[in-house]
Chains A and B, each alone.
Chain A
Amino acid sequence: MDRRTVLKGLAGAGGLALTGGFAAPAIAQGAAARTLRFVPQANLANFDPIWGTQYVVRNAAAMVWDTLYGIDDQFVPQRQMVESEEVSSDGLTWTFKLRPGLKFHDGTPVLAKDVVASLTRWSARDPMGLMLKALQNELTAVDDKTFKWVLKQPYPKMLFALGKGNAPCAFIMPERIAQTDPFKQMTEYVGSGPFKFVKGEWVPGAKAVFEKFTDYVPRQEKPVWLAGGKQVLVDRVEWVIMPDPATAAAALQNGEVDWWENPITDLVPVLKGNKNIGVDIGDPLGNVGAFRINHLHAPFNNVKARQAILMAMSQEDYMRALVGDDNSLWKPLPGFFTPGTPLYTEAGGEILKGKRDLVAAKKLLEEAGYKGEPITCVVAQDQPITKAFGDVTADLLKKLGMNVDFVATDWGTVGARRAQKTPPAQGGWHMFHTWHAGADCINPAAYNALRANGDKAWFGWPTSEPVETEITNWFNAKSLDEEKAVAARINKAAIDDVVFAPTGFFLGYTAWRKNVSGVTKGPIPLFWGVSKTA
């Protein structure tokens, strides 16, 4: 045999292997203009919005599943799948009627029993759902279109719970799917929302495809956020996952994608300079940066040590490290609630304002009994936000004369390690960073991170009697003024006890090709009302 035969053999083997890999389905050709290519903030790795609650799963799920109510830009829940509701005068019995024409993607009509099963699964996982479940006498279907929820105590926030956009949302699924154990992943993705999920084309980590659901009947009202008529103007939406922001930017400039959810700030000037690209703030509610401190272990079990951090930290450093030079993208946040929303308050926030006082902070640390023990700071390097915060914190602790044990790792490890209550030297931790969507911080309802009920609280396990008392008061508040007064007291108490250290409030841009129109601001990317020309 000679060289040529060998080469031919090799080529043959390669060709064989290649044709073997042709399982990938062909994409509908000629529909380019009706296909919207979207680069999401993260990979859609799983698709059960009740089981997994990452933001990206929620955003995709909102295309496929509809909700009974949807909040508008004033945070008022508006009817979505529901035609009418009625609450008894004692506030205990809620009766809901579904609007006509609702259909699941498999062609079956949406019935009250589907809603009951969906709400049952949801209420096992959602914080507000769990409260409802605790108050529940019964949740039953009255007939095909009517269901009722009977409670032991009035629950004034009922409609907000059903319409909120915070994960997990109360999505409505067919009964057979909703009967899945809420702690197990479902395997079918059938909803009644404006888009169908094309499971066959789903390549986790690379692509997710949604097709227009032609039988969807939108409401007549104007669409505002999750409320109103969800008119779909494209045939397909393709989510293209791009791990490298530089590549995403180049792809948008080249017209290989149509819409990029979260361009990094430093590249925005380039995008703005391109006449074919439009740029605007994406989510007006932004994000709240969080620097979590473990309340269980020395020195931070002493409130003085935690206050020392607040006194020394510069929110401007954290924010600039993240969003760069664009001052319109961040705000100092001497509090915990989302700026620009009704409950926003700066009550008690003086310690975060003004010139940073390293000397006083060092003195507080000393009073707290800190003697140079190593401080374990776990930082996820694979998330740009936590990475930037970690770099600033390392610098801050160094300036404070603290001995930092900087654990650079990935989000998977931070997630596991932060659940450890053991001392930092034995696998526990002192501090980590994360962030909360502004939509989660508009009030205490979905704001787990603000809870301060010790062992049951979120990671860091803060204990603060005043914070907890006021949160209970908020759930029972009946007017906005009352809510505002409570929020101010929550804010002050949470800063005094340093439930966590807010690193600032930041916004992000979104960018799209100019042949796409109808991109609007919202707490999640909204695909209805978006159209594309060739």
Chain B
Amino acid sequence: MLAYALRRVLSTLPVMAIVALFVFSLLYIAPGDPAVVIAGDQASPADVERIRANLGLDQPFLVQFGSWVWRLLHFDLGTSIFTNLPVSAMIAQRIEPTLSLMMVTLVLTILIAVPLGVIAAWKAGTWIDRVIMAFAVFGFSVPVFVVGYILAYVFALKFDLLPVQGYTPLAQGFWPWLQNLILPAVALGCVYIALIARITRAAMLEVLQQDYIRTARAKGLGQGGILFIHALKNAAVPIVTVVGIGIALLIGGAVVTESVFAIPGLGRLTIDAILRRDYPVIQGIVLLFSFVYVLVNLLIDVTYTLVDPRIRY
């Protein structure tokens, strides 16, 4: 098990190397130029040229890439061209909001979607099932920013229940922290809730046909006990899988959600960095994303072995 995990971690290195090279080349051939953004509209072309030289952006591709990799091997992600802050520090500032948003979304999703899916499966074919599934298909079809605007309008402006924007660090208390995250998490979670509810229903339907559920039923276990203990446990593999796939979905959605709700997270940092051509920051973030993605997939594989003893590596 441990050896397997170790091998998996090692096998991610080439993946991340490919991502790094890919992103670096993409940025190198991209036409934008951070020097002109810095210099502003009053600067002369000669000024821009000198700023570019000072940033080392006039160096050939291999030299730039080489020095970046060299620093990376010393665990140095470099320094932002614009803010002059270390990239690692900028990412660290932004991780908490994004991670919080994702965690709350995930928890919210599981709290809503799994019971919905279980109920739909239990009541399969009835109107309850159809309403839930209709909601699920609909949730899939509405863009995240539309949901965000509607939520902000209703809950923040009309009824003044929750703040419209911003982020409060968890260190300042659980409720202030949660308050700022509820609306964005619901907006972001919509697609996700729809997806997980559908998967849960499908997996449960399959499991409910199995013999041991009939046995449990015959033994007189209560309906709830059967559903949530026996059946759900066995339906866990596909659910966990989709939770994992959804991480990529979440990262994408977070970019939009963070701008709509003005949350100072990684998504906004990424867009800002791309629009300004802050190369070291973009590279650092993409590397982080691919690392997280690989890590999540690893976690999921490990989770399989826990929820389903038949799977062994």
Q: Which residues of B contact A77 (CB under 8 A)?
A: none
Contact in complex: B92, A21 (CB < 8 Å): yes
Which of A206, A256, A427 contacts B264 (CB under 8 A)? A206
Name which residue of chain A comes closest to B180, CB basis: A256
Q: Taking the complex as formed, is B249 at the interface, i.e. its CB lies under 8 A from any CB of chain A?
A: no
Could you say which of A112-120, A245-253, A364-372, A394-402 contacts chain B? Answer: A245-253
Which of A51, A57, A166, A244 contacts B259 (CB under 8 A)? A244
Which of B84, B262, B307 contacts A244 (CB under 8 A)? B262
Q: Taking the complex as formed, is B76 at the interface, i.e. its CB lies under 8 A from any CB of chain A?
A: no
Q: Which residues of A contact B233 (CB under 8 A)?
A: 2-3
A45 to chain B, nearest CB (A): 4
Q: Taking the complex as formed, is B285 at the interface, i.e. its CB lies under 8 A from any CB of chain A?
A: no
Q: How far is A168 from B303 in the complex, measured between Cα atoms in Å? A: 57
**Segment 243-276 of A: residues with Cβ below 8 Å from B:** 243-244, 246-248, 250-251, 253-254, 256
Could you say which of A134-142, A179-187, A469-477 contacts chain B? Answer: A179-187
Name which residue of chain A comes closest to B278, CB basis: A45
Name which residue of chain A comes closest to B170, CB basis: A18
Contact in complex: A18, B268 (CB < 8 Å): no
Do A411 and B171 contact each other (CB < 8 Å), given the known contacts A205-B264, A382-B275, A419-B45? no
Contact in complex: A412, B100 (CB < 8 Å): no
A310 to chain B, nearest CB (A): 22
Do A53 and B42 contact each other (CB < 8 Å), given the known contacts A43-B272, A45-B276? yes
Q: Taking the complex as formed, is B206 at the interface, i.e. its CB lies under 8 A from any CB of chain A?
A: no
Name which residue of chain A comes closest to B98, CB basis: A21
Name which residue of chain B comes closest to A6, CB basis: B306
Q: How far is A3 from B236 in the complex, measured between Cα atoms in Å? A: 8
Contact with B along A19-52 (1 / 0, CB 8 A): 0111110110000000000000001011110011
Contact with A along B148-173 (1 / 0, CB 8 A): 01001100110010011110011110
Q: Which residues of A contact B44 (CB under 8 A)?
A: 448, 456
Name which residue of chain A comes closest to B228, CB basis: A3
Contact in complex: B260, A244 (CB < 8 Å): yes
Could you say which of B13-21, B30-38, B121-129, B197-205 contacts chain A? Answer: B30-38
Q: Which residues of A contact B45 (CB under 8 A)?
A: 419
Contact in complex: B156, A254 (CB < 8 Å): yes
Name which residue of chain A comes closest to B265, CB basis: A206
**Segment 74-94 of B: residues with Cβ below 8 Å from A:** 80, 82-85, 90, 92-94
Q: How far is A415 from B149 in the complex, measured between Cα atoms in Å? A: 32
B21 to chain A, nearest CB (A): 22
Contact in complex: B42, A1 (CB < 8 Å): no
Contact in complex: B99, A187 (CB < 8 Å): no
Q: Taking the complex as formed, is A323 at the interface, i.e. its CB lies under 8 A from any CB of chain B?
A: no
Q: Taking the complex as formed, is A331 at the interface, i.e. its CB lies under 8 A from any CB of chain B?
A: no
Do A51 and B272 contact each other (CB < 8 Å), given the known contacts A206-B264, A412-B32? no
Which of B100, B164, B303 contacts A250 (CB under 8 A)? B164
Contact in complex: B96, A24 (CB < 8 Å): yes
Could you say which of B2-10, B46-54, B64-72, B217-225 contacts chain A? Answer: B46-54
Contact in complex: B96, A413 (CB < 8 Å): no
Q: How far is A412 from B272 in the complex, measured between Cα atoms in Å? A: 11
Do A242 and B92 contact each other (CB < 8 Å), given the known contacts A1-B306, A6-B306, A53-B40? no
Q: Could you tell me how many residues of chain B have their Cβ less than 8 Å away from some Cβ of chain A?
A: 68
Q: Taking the complex as formed, is A103 at the interface, i.e. its CB lies under 8 A from any CB of chain B?
A: no
Q: Which residues of B contact A242 (CB under 8 A)?
A: 165, 262
Q: Taking the complex as formed, is B95 at the interface, i.e. its CB lies under 8 A from any CB of chain A?
A: yes
Which of A168, A243, A250 contacts B156 (CB under 8 A)? A250
Q: How far is A254 from B54 in the complex, measured between Cα atoms in Å? A: 45
Contact in complex: A24, B152 (CB < 8 Å): no
Q: Which residues of A contact B32 (CB under 8 A)?
A: 410, 412-413, 415-416
Name which residue of chain B comes closest to A2, CB basis: B233
Contact in complex: A23, B92 (CB < 8 Å): yes
Q: Taking the complex as formed, is A54 at the interface, i.e. its CB lies under 8 A from any CB of chain B?
A: yes
Q: Which residues of A contact B171 (CB under 8 A)?
A: 22, 24, 26
Q: Which residues of A contact B96 (CB under 8 A)?
A: 18, 21-24
Name which residue of chain B comes closest to A459, CB basis: B45
Q: Which residues of A contact B248 (CB under 8 A)?
A: none
B286 to chain A, nearest CB (A): 17
Q: Taking the complex as formed, is A345 at the interface, i.e. its CB lies under 8 A from any CB of chain B?
A: no
Name which residue of chain A comes closest to B236, CB basis: A3
Name which residue of chain B comes closest to A381, CB basis: B275
Contact in complex: A247, B269 (CB < 8 Å): no
Closest 6 CB pairs of A and B: A206-B264, A21-B96, A53-B40, A416-B33, A415-B36, A412-B32
List, sorted by A's number, 16 A–B pairs whose CB atoms are closer than 8 Å.
A20-B95, A24-B93, A45-B82, A57-B40, A166-B42, A167-B40, A181-B54, A183-B54, A184-B54, A202-B85, A251-B164, A410-B32, A412-B32, A412-B34, A412-B275, A440-B42
> In the complex, given contacts A22-B171, A241-B262, A434-B41, what are 18 additional A-B residue pairs having Cβ atoms less than 8 angstroms apart?
A21-B92, A24-B96, A26-B172, A127-B42, A204-B82, A204-B90, A206-B94, A206-B262, A206-B268, A240-B166, A242-B165, A250-B164, A251-B164, A254-B160, A256-B163, A416-B31, A417-B31, A440-B42
